[in-house]
């Protein structure tokens, strides 16, 4: 089976082709990414001869998908099935689903829940059906699905019942694929902990979230009805007193202005007054930039708050896992989040932690009661596995 996976962000599209290897495992064959959609886009392409990159005018996800499929067709690459990351499955989709006209129509009804992500994903799906034909099996895998196991006390907001009923308000959680991948990969990496019951995961990148996992099931997560809740992020606010938003709206800005401010002008960018990029912030902090120092300290403080809270939710932890661009590549951020936690048995091996940059590694000290791992998140591989499991080899013969 050869499986093509599309993983779209708000202005990017990642793609990876997997083929069956030994023991029916999936191995990456080629892939790439298009970033900066909506203008002069940058693309990177990896294939057996090597890696190439360049620029192209790609206005949206549909054009990016068409560009990718054209490149694959020109190389005579066979595509037997396609997997699509879809951010929001609402209360309808809690497992991977085969895409049919009926399921696509139901997906479209959820666009209001993730207006920046679900419509572009549907555009990619539509383009794939046009280019590859409706007979090519396609599967949608949902970011919210992992959090469908949240208990009622964790998924409900303490809001008037009429609001809940009228607008379908509840905590959905996001980054489910990343949290699930970290958990499953950890069990592979540390066979001695194959029965680990309590695991806390941090997905730290442009978007950031934490998840408490018990027996493989998400029981609490930091993002809620939207990805705005929880940790401080690159340009998203994370937790904020709702009264602040009422006050701001009462002074004039409408809902659109408020939403843009919360999603695109808050977070690390707002705190530092300089940049949303953590690498740049750490460099600026080292040079004495007060705004950068505040941004980094606030980021780590918020993450530590959630670490402590989720240790309470789980009654302790067998493992703490870090993934995402910051989680995988910023040892100092991991160290600050885990600092002075000996009281609960958490200890880092600072040398191992400093060596772990973009690589999978155990970074906890030998005497730590909790394993701490850096996990290189591969959402596309998880999606391909779900496609393989759902369709089976016979479905694409």
Q: What is the pLDDT of residue 63?
A: 96
Give the C-alpha separation, 208 to 218, whole Å. Answer: 16
Condensed to tens digits (0 to 9), the pLDDT of residues 188-221 reads 998 776 667 999 999 999 999 999 999 999 999 9
Q: How far apart are CA 82 and CA 147, in angstroms?
A: 24
Backbone angles phi, psi at 341, to 5 degrees: -110, 15
Indicate the average pLDDT of the chain: 94
| Assigned superfamily of 191-374 | ATPase, nucleotide binding domain (3.30.420.40)
Rounded mean pLDDT of 249-271? 93
Q: Domain map of the chain by residue range?
A: 2-142, 191-374
**CATH code of the domain occupying 2-142:** 3.30.420.40
Tell me what pLDDT residue 116 has.
Answer: 87
pLDDT for 48 equals 81
- Identify the pLDDT of residue 396: 39
DSSP per-residue codes, 28-77: EEEEEEEESTTEEEEEEEEETTEEEEEEEEE-SHHHHHHHHHHHHHHTT-
Strand 81-86 relative to strand 97-98, pairing: unpaired
Give the pLDDT confidence score for residue 193 in this predicted structure. Answer: 64
The reported pLDDT for the residue numbered 252 is: 81
Residues in a beta bridge with 56? 41
| CA-wise closest residue to 360 among 303, 316, 321 | 321
**25, pLDDT greater than 90:** no
Q: Distance between CA 203 and CA 85 in Å, rounded?
A: 17
What is the share, in percent, of the chain residues with pLDDT greater than 90? 88
Q: What is the pLDDT of residue 195?
A: 67
* Per-residue pLDDT at 170: 96
Look at residue 139 in the predicted model and tell me its pLDDT. Answer: 98
What pLDDT score was predicted for residue 393?
Answer: 45
pLDDT of 72 above 50: yes
The total number of residues shown for the chain amounts to 397
Mean pLDDT of 351-364: 96
% of the chain at pLDDT higher than 70: 98
Give the predicted TM-score (pTM) of the model: 0.95
The catalytic residue positions are 143
Residue range 5-24, pLDDT digits in tens: 999 988 899 999 999 877 77
Same fold, 2-142 and 191-374: yes
Q: Are 137 and 81 in contact (CB under 8 A)?
A: yes
pLDDT tens digits, one per residue of 272-328: 999 999 999 999 999 999 999 999 999 999 999 999 999 999 999 999 999 999 999
If one counts every other C-beta atom within 10 angstroms of the C-beta of residue 8, the result is 24
State the Cα–Cα distance between residues 227 and 178, nearest whole angstrom.
Answer: 14
Q: Is the dihedral of CA 316, 361, 35, 379 positive or negative?
A: negative
């Amino acid at each position: 089976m050869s499986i093509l996976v599309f993983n779209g962000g708000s202005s990017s599209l990642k793609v990876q082709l997997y083929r069956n290897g030994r023991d029916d495992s999936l191995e990456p064959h080629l892939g790439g990414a298009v970033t900066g959609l909506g203008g002069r886009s940058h693309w990177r392409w990896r294939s057996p001869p090597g890696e190439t990159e360049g620029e192209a005018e790609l206005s949206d996800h549909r054009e990016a998908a068409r560009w990718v499929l054209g490149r694959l067709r020109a190389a005579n690459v066979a595509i037997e099935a396609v997997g699509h990351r879809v951010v929001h499955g609402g209360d309808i989709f809690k497992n991977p689903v085969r895409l049919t006209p009926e399921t696509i129509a139901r997906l479209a009804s959820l666009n209001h829940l993730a207006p920046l992500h679900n419509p572009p994903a549907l555009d990619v799906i539509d383009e794939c059906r046009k280019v590859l034909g409706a007979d090519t099996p396609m599967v949608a895998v949902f970011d919210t699905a992992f959090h469908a196991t949240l208990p009622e006390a964790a998924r409900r907001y303490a809001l008037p019942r009429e609001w809940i009923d009228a607008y379908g308000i509840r905590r959905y959680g996001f980054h489910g694929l990343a949290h699930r991948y970290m958990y499953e990969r950890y069990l592979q990496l540390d066979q001695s902990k194959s029965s680990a019951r309590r695991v806390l995961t941090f997905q730290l990148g442009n978007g950031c979230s934490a998840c408490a996992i018990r027996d493989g099931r998400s029981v609490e997560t930091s993002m809620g009805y939207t990805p705005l809740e929880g940790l401080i992020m690159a340009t998203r606010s994370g937790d904020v007193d709702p009264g602040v938003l009422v006050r701001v709206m009462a002074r004039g800005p409408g809902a659109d202005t408020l939403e843009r401010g919360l999603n695109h002008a808050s977070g690390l960018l707002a705190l530092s007054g300089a940049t949303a990029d953590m690498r740049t912030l750490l460099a600026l902090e080292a040079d004495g930039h007060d705004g950068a120092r505040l941004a980094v300290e606030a980021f780590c403080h918020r993450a530590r708050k959630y670490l402590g809270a989720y240790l309470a939710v789980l009654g302790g932890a067998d493992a703490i896992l870090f993934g995402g661009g910051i989680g995988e590549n910023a040892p100092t951020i991991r160290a600050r989040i885990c600092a002075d936690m000996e009281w609960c048995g958490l200890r880092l091996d600072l040398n191992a932690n400093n060596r772990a940059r973009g690589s999978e590694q155990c970074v906890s000290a030998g005497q730590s009661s909790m394993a701490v791992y850096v996990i290189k998140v591969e959402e596309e591989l998880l999606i391909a596995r779900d496609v393989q499991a759902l369709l089976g080899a016979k479905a694409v013969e």
